Amino acid sequence: MTLRFVVNGKDVAVEVEPSEVLLDSLRRLGYRGVKSGCRTGSCGTCTVLLDGRPVPSCTVLAAQADGREVTTIEGLGDTDNPHPLQSGFLRQGAAQCAYCMQGMILSAKALLDTHPHPTDEEIREGISGNLCRCTGYVKAIEAVAELGGTRLHLDSSNRHPHRNPGPYATVGDPVEKTEGIGLVSGRAKYTDDFAFEGLLQGRIKRSPHAHARIVSIDASKARALEGVHAVLTCEDVPRVPHSTAGQNCPEPSPYDSVMLDRKVRFVGDRVAAVAADTPILAKRACDLIEVEYEMIEPVLDFERAMDEGAPVIHDEDDATGILDASRNMAAHVDAEVGDVEEGFAKAEHVFEHTYRVQYVHANPSEPHIAATFLDEKNRLVVVTSTQVPFHVRRIVSRVNEIPLHDVRVVKPRIGGGFGVKQEVIVEDICAALTLATRRPVKLSLDRSEELVSSRTRHPQILKLRTGVAADGTILAREMRVLTNTGAYGSHGLTVPSNTGSKSLPLYRSPAIAFSNDTVYTNLPVGGACRGYGAPQGYFAMESHSDEIAHALGMDPAEFRLMNAIREGDEDPIAEKLGEGKEGFRRVIQTNGLPECWERVSEAADWEGWRSKLEPGQFGTPGSFRHSRVGKGITFAMHGSGIPGDDMGAATIKANEDGSFNLLVGATDLGTGSDTILAQIASEVLGVTPEKVVVYSSDTDRTPFDVGAYASSTTYVSGGAVVKAAEMVRDRLLVHAAALLAEGPQGLTCADGKVTAPSGKSVSLADVANAAMYGEDKEQISFTASNVTYDCPPPFAAACCTVEVDTETGRVDVTDFVCAVDLGFPINPALAEGQIEGGVLMGLGYALSEEMLFDGKGRMLNDNLRDYRVFSSVDAPPIRAILVRTDEPTGPFGAKSVSEIPVDVVAPAVANAIYAATGVRLRDLPFTPEKVLAGIEALAAAGGEGVGAGGRR
């Protein structure tokens, strides 16, 4: 049927299929700013204005738009003529990956059209259909409020003033992202935005069973279907055991995966792959593949996985690196410093508690997607939404048995990663489909596949035991962990190592022991996920800290401060745990924790609130009859890169006009690392950031980088940029010296010129021009790489305020303050964005997110209606505070910021719920039902708290 409508003021006519949704028609017409995120009306990335109103275009049948007017982000403005909302979002640093932002800006536009001066609440309501996974909505709301001329919703006294803290020129500035308006006008290209001639659609047939052997597989009907170009089963692809984890080689994860296997190990595991002309044909083909399964009893309870006689999940004989496949044990970690038993014997009190954390998903706005094709030289090109292009290249080449030099991996803009894209789970098989068909193939996961079949945050059970002296000094501590890695062991050793190595060093103790068993189950696969094991460890440890403080009758802040690690301290447990093997000696050189706490305590009025409580009283009255308010705190430290393991490299080349090309392997996931690296280069070279043109993440054209993980990019890759920039600068100074007829000593490079001690100066453009066209011609270009052994930890303190509905158990977070000592803030706006977004992700972990399974291992809530992440109306005001320390080992004093905010959240919420009600919850997430059960149990036990005398 013919659809006639008006798009951005233009009359358009297009043929559409009856099932086609408006999202697809618009993208087909070239309006690529309309993004596909869930296709179920739940995420809002596909938002367009239909007759002026924001709607999810994935739920609108194309024909329903007949005769109507549609506005897409492209209709609002572009680089040359941006809409004030687009420039406002960019200026405020509201856009991270920006995958959600095209839609959000349209919602904001519609709001301002009807409410020119919206309140905070109206703004939150207006963008409530646009879920953002990167940010805390804070800056987007500010951008809209600014344009509406309404009061900024946050008390700016607690916020970073966004003035450069000095003493640098561009480093420290809240520079706008290098992508510019393109990022918020639909121009920025994500993987799905590349057009290829003759493109085929890939699709994976997935297992409906948790544990089964494939007896036979008959693809003949699928192959016979017209428009189907390849059907791959385990018989058609190489069998190369590998780990899908994007880690340095050899990976510290077992080689327990093959591209397609004869066995399926979880509901959603790969069975076969198809390439066809259209998505619907690919789906029909998958449905036509006939598979005969022999069912095996699944292992669904990870506490039973190691039992005698439990079904063996990895019984294949070619897997390597599995600790003990016969007992479903993927990995084990053990470390001890001092003698814990001796410490416990000496202790006045010993506390022991067990905590449980659930399956959650990083859930980036853009699901996994890759496109592969053969270039004019028949080399395989992989365009993919990844955090680790160089690891993708290595793994794709290995599992497809083609030479590494025949593979090029390019990462375009990506719609968020958070760890889940540190994994090779679409590229290998997409490449196989291209190799089989010799045609371009695109393979994207739908939201359900993303949730079920990509990677998750490992569930754990954590037992903590702590011995303290009478005054509260910690004498011994032990953490024993059981980790569920699901069907495959990717990151199954290193994630739990980090559970201990990131959290345990925070408090001094003469004796610390850590152990972990990682087991396989027939459930979705664990992987890297923002925080990498630390959020699990911190939930347990910082809940435990509170429990100890309360038992001792101490102020929870005081207990923490007296035991916390100090500047100059060594950190033996982190050294022991390393990254799957013994690590490196670490001495804390900068520690802003006391200042973090001071600022948080003041901003959250911690003392004031506590002084309102009678001894033994829980909670203060809330905004309605049955509500109680409480505040909870957390401290944390994290790391900056993997010491001795992470390597980042940068190439800088000078152009004759005094501009530079910065080529980095580092991957910007939306975090703004391209911008930050440009700032670092420009600082060293004495130019403005616009003079540094960044090109990143292309294995053919940029130097190596491990990729974006472990909070490493600013610290590790930034260090490489400093080195390369210094080399380029020194070379430029040689040419400048000749031009100035002065010695190179004492020349400085700043403000776009080179200045001699005599005061004589020459512009950098003249120097660069002379280098290229003058007497001594050369291309000034240097590559430097950087590895560090220090891993300086950022520190954080947080305070969460909750209001608990004591009749329903529902917890409303009404305020969250988080201060991070991140070293020197290279870009304070982007750093705040990391904190706000990390906190919001942590709130989902604490309160709403949970992957739930039925008795057969099928996920029950595999969509974003039922797997609930925080929307703008659920999000509290998040107040990010940047605490500056100058880390001597980091570029311009920088450490890191992106993961630590997730660490502080769940325990702060747990502690706040306790403070409000007297109910201690040790089992994430705190659903209303669990909270209420806690309240009722407390009442039944006649305990102190809301149930009993708490309603004073």
Partner 1 sequence: MLDLSALLRPTSPEEAIRLFAETPGNGLYVSGGTVIVPSGSPNLDFLVDLSAAGLDYVRPLADNASTGTAGEGPGLALGAGTCICDLARSQQVADLAGGVLHEAAAAVANHTVRNRATLGGNVVASHYPTDLPPALLVLEASILAMNLDGKREIDLETFYTDRRTQHKKGDLIVEVRVPGASRNLTAAFEKLGRLKLDIATVNAAAAVRVEGGGVVHARAAVSGTGRPPARLHDVETFLIGQKADRETFEEAGRIASESVDPRSNHRASGEYRKKMIGVLVRRALERAAEK
Ligand X SMILES: Cc1cc2nc3c(=O)[nH]c(=O)nc-3n(C[C@H](O)[C@H](O)[C@H](O)COP(=O)(O)OP(=O)(O)OC[C@H]3O[C@@H](n4cnc5c(N)ncnc54)[C@H](O)[C@@H]3O)c2cc1C
Size of the site for partner 1 (CB under 8 A): 55
In this complex, which beta carbon is closest to ligand FES, that of residue 102 or of residue 717?
A: 102
Omega into 572 within 30° of 0, i.e. cis?
no
Among 25, 36, 201, 466, binds ligand FES (CB under 6 A): 36
Selection from ligand FES, ligand X, partner 1, none that 18 binds (CB < 5 to 8 A by kind) is: partner 1
Q: Within 774-899, where are the H helices?
A: 828-843
Is 56 an interacting residue with respect to ligand FES (CB under 6 A)?
yes
Among 8, 87, 119, 128, binds partner 1 (CB under 8 A): 128
Rounded Cα distance, 432 and 122, in Å: 49
Structure tokens at 544: 């435990």
Selection from ligand X, partner 1, ligand FES, none that 870 binds (CB < 5 to 8 A by kind) is: partner 1
Show the site string, 363-402: x = touches ligand FES by CB under 6 A, - = not.
Answer: --x-------------------------------------
Is 43 an interacting residue with respect to ligand FES (CB under 6 A)?
yes
Is 788 an interacting residue with respect to ligand FES (CB under 6 A)?
no
What Å distances lie between residue 225 and 192, 438, 507, CA to CA? 26, 19, 63
In 76-206, beta strands by DSSP E: 200-206
Three-state DSSP class for 502?
Answer: helix
In this complex, which beta carbon is closest to ligand FES, that of residue 46 or of residue 913?
A: 46
Question: DSSP of 77-97, one letter per residue?
Answer: -BTTB--HHHHHHHHHT--SS
Rounded Cα distance, 70 and 58, in Å: 14
Listed ranges 39-47, 339-347, 455-463, 743-751: which one lies at the site for partner 1 (CB under 8 A): 39-47
**Closest of 791, 786, 788, 825 to residue 650, by C-alpha:** 786
Is 34 an interacting residue with respect to partner 1 (CB under 8 A)?
no
Residues 6+ positions from 156 with CB-CB distance below 8 Å? none
Listed ranges 33-41, 326-334, 573-581, 938-946: which one lies at the site for ligand FES (CB under 6 A): 33-41
Q: How far is the CB of 368 from ligand X (least distance, A)?
A: 22
Structural element, H or E, at residue 908: helix 905-917
Is 288 an interacting residue with respect to ligand FES (CB under 6 A)?
no
Listed ranges 44-52, 559-567, 780-788, 896-904: which one lies at the site for partner 1 (CB under 8 A): 44-52
Q: How far is the CB of 23 from ligand FES (least distance, A)?
A: 6
In this complex, which beta carbon is closest to ligand X, that of residue 41 or of residue 180?
A: 41
Among 120, 751, 807, 944, binds partner 1 (CB under 8 A): 807
Rounded Cα distance, 784 and 105, in Å: 40
Structural element, H or E, at residue 803: strand 795-805
Among 808, 814, 920, 944, binds partner 1 (CB under 8 A): 808
Q: Within 271-405, where are the H helices?
A: 279-288, 340-346, 389-399
What is the footprint of ligand FES within residues 132-191 (CB under 6 A)? 132-135
Selection from ligand X, partner 1, ligand FES, none that 53 binds (CB < 5 to 8 A by kind) is: partner 1
Half-sphere exposure of 330 (CA within 13 A, CB side): 35
**Closest of 447, 437, 504 to residue 477, by C-alpha:** 504
Q: Do 697 and 382 meet the contact criterion of CB atoms below 8 Å apart?
A: no
The amino acid that residue 634 corresponds to is T
Q: How far is the CB of 864 from ligand X (least distance, A)?
A: 7
Structure tokens at 570: 């060594």
Residues 6+ positions from 535 with CB-CB distance below 8 Å? 357, 457, 842, 845, 902, 903, 905, 906
For residue 2, list its beta bridge partners.
Answer: 15
In this complex, which beta carbon is closest to partner 1, that of residue 287 or of residue 292?
A: 287
Selection from ligand X, partner 1, ligand FES, none that 763 binds (CB < 5 to 8 A by kind) is: none
Among 25, 42, 667, 788, binds ligand FES (CB under 6 A): 42
Q: Do 147 and 111 meet the contact criterion of CB atoms below 8 Å apart?
A: no
657 C-beta neighbours (distance < 10 Å), count: 14
**Positions in the binding site for ligand X (CB under 6 A):** 41-42, 865
Selection from partner 1, ligand FES, ligand X, none that 848 binds (CB < 5 to 8 A by kind) is: partner 1
What Å distances lie between residue 255 and 266, 392, 454, 622, 701, CA to CA? 17, 15, 17, 53, 30
Is 46 an interacting residue with respect to ligand FES (CB under 6 A)?
yes
Rounded Cα distance, 298 and 855, in Å: 10
Rounded Cα distance, 230 and 376, in Å: 22
In this complex, which beta carbon is closest to ligand FES, that of residue 381 or of residue 445?
A: 445
Rounded Cα distance, 3 and 14, in Å: 5
Instruction: Please name the residue that has the structure tokens 């920006």.
Output: 98
**Closest of 237, 273, 275 to residue 258, by C-alpha:** 237
In this complex, which beta carbon is closest to ligand X, that of residue 303 or of residue 866?
A: 866
**Closest of 498, 459, 458 to residue 479, by C-alpha:** 498
In this complex, which beta carbon is closest to partner 1, that of residue 127 or of residue 900?
A: 127
Q: How far is the CB of 227 from partner 1 (least distance, A)?
A: 14
Q: How far is the CB of 382 from ligand FES (least distance, A)?
A: 23
Q: How far is the CB of 39 from ligand X (least distance, A)?
A: 11
Q: How far is the CB of 416 from ligand FES (least distance, A)?
A: 5
Structure tokens at 409: 């991996």
Selection from ligand X, ligand FES, partner 1, none that 635 binds (CB < 5 to 8 A by kind) is: none
Selection from ligand X, partner 1, ligand FES, none that 150 binds (CB < 5 to 8 A by kind) is: none
Radius of gyration of the chain (CA): 28
Pairing of strands 441-444, 200-206: parallel
Structure tokens at 596: 């973090």
What is the footprint of partner 1 within residues 223-282 (CB under 8 A)? 279-280
Is 44 an interacting residue with respect to ligand FES (CB under 6 A)?
yes
Is 504 an interacting residue with respect to ligand FES (CB under 6 A)?
no
Q: Do 22 and 62 meet the contact criterion of CB atoms below 8 Å apart?
A: yes
In this complex, which beta carbon is closest to partner 1, that of residue 143 or of residue 281?
A: 281
Q: Within 400-489, where are the H helices?
A: 427-437, 447-453
In this complex, which beta carbon is closest to ligand FES, that of residue 49 or of residue 654?
A: 49
Listed ranges 95-103, 245-253, 596-604, 733-741: which one lies at the site for ligand FES (CB under 6 A): 95-103
In this complex, which beta carbon is closest to ligand FES, that of residue 7 or of residue 577?
A: 7
Q: Do 941 and 836 meet the contact criterion of CB atoms below 8 Å apart?
A: no
Sign of the CA dihedral with 484 first, then 489, 495, and 497 last: positive
In this complex, which beta carbon is closest to ligand X, that of residue 49 or of residue 593?
A: 49
Among 72, 96, 130, 201, binds partner 1 (CB under 8 A): 130
Among 101, 245, 388, 433, binds ligand FES (CB under 6 A): 101
Among 927, 939, 944, 948, binds partner 1 (CB under 8 A): 927
Structure tokens at 750: 């700043």
Selection from ligand FES, ligand X, partner 1, none that 101 binds (CB < 5 to 8 A by kind) is: ligand FES
What is the footprint of partner 1 within residues 843-902 (CB under 8 A)? 847-848, 852, 860-861, 863, 865-866, 868, 870-871, 873-874
Pairing of strands 795-805, 811-823: antiparallel
Structure tokens at 701: 């054209």
Cα-Cα-Cα-Cα torsion 220, 224, 228, 229, nearest 10 degrees, comes to 80
Selection from partner 1, ligand X, ligand FES, none that 929 binds (CB < 5 to 8 A by kind) is: partner 1
Binding site for ligand FES (CB under 6 A): 36-39, 41-46, 56, 58, 95-101, 132-135, 365, 416, 670
Residues that bind partner 1 (CB under 8 A): 1, 17-19, 21, 39-42, 44, 47, 50, 53-56, 58-61, 63-64, 66, 107, 125-130, 279-280, 283-284, 807-808, 810, 812, 847-848, 852, 860-861, 863, 865-866, 868, 870-871, 873-874, 927-929, 932
